[in-house]
Amino acid sequence: MSDRPGTDIISKLVLQENPITNIVVEYLVGTKAKDKYRARPIEWINDTRSDVLFMCDGDNSSYPPVLIEVQNAVDVDAFM
């Protein structure tokens, strides 16, 4: 495992901590989402991977999944 800049590993690990997960989903989904989400690994059919996917446990399937992508550098070209 490498923690050099640009690898996003530290960011991914931090986002998987339950208190951080709660902060993110409460902000994006609402306060009722607290303690209902868990980080899940995600790999797409084309073998690419997303940074973190938060999904609800069992009976809470009415809540939407939350996909997080961490950017090392952000510029206009990244969004065009």
pLDDT tens digits for range 42-77 = 877 887 777 889 998 777 678 999 998 887 667 777
Confidence of residue 26 (pLDDT cuts 50, 70, 90): very high
Residue environment code for 6-36, b if the CB has 16+ CB neighbours within 10 A, otherwise e: eebeebbeebbeeeebbebbeeebeeebeeb
Q: What is the pTM of this model?
A: 0.70
More confident residue, 15 or 6: 15
Backbone angles phi, psi at 21, to 5 degrees: -55, -45
Q: What pLDDT, on a 0 to 100 scale, did the predictor assign at position 6? A: 52
Instruction: Read off the amino acid at residue 6.
Output: G
Q: How far out from the chain centre does Cα 79 lie? A: 19
Chain mean pLDDT for the chain: 81
Confidence of residue 30 (pLDDT cuts 50, 70, 90): very high
